[in-house]
Amino acid sequence: MMPLAFARPGSLVRVIAIRGGQGVHAKLRSLGIMEGRLLRVVNLMYGGPVIVEIVNDVGPSPKVALGFGISTKIFVEEV
């Protein structure tokens, strides 16, 4: 398990846990990022923001950029 901020670009990861206040949770959830979800790490700047794409079996979903602060609160596992 590692913070999303340190994931490998191009890798597929699963969200294990989200730390942080309710505001952070709510914001991420309404974007569809929550425990159990699969994310594709599109690109990232080390020590900076990460671009992820939520992976599901249906339809496309636009990419989201998450700042370093938030992406260190999202714990993921590479699959």
Please report, as ranges, the residues that interact with another protein according to CB under 8 A: 22-32, 34-36, 42-49, 51, 54, 56-70
- Smaller CB separation from another protein, 1 or 47: 47
Q: DSSP label at 20?
A: S
Smallest gap from Cβ 77 to another protein, in A, equals 18
Residue-wise over 38-71: b if at least 16 C-beta within 10 A, else e? bbbbeebeeeebbbbbbeeeeeeeeebebebebb
Smallest gap from Cβ 60 to another protein, in A, equals 5
Smallest gap from Cβ 78 to another protein, in A, equals 18
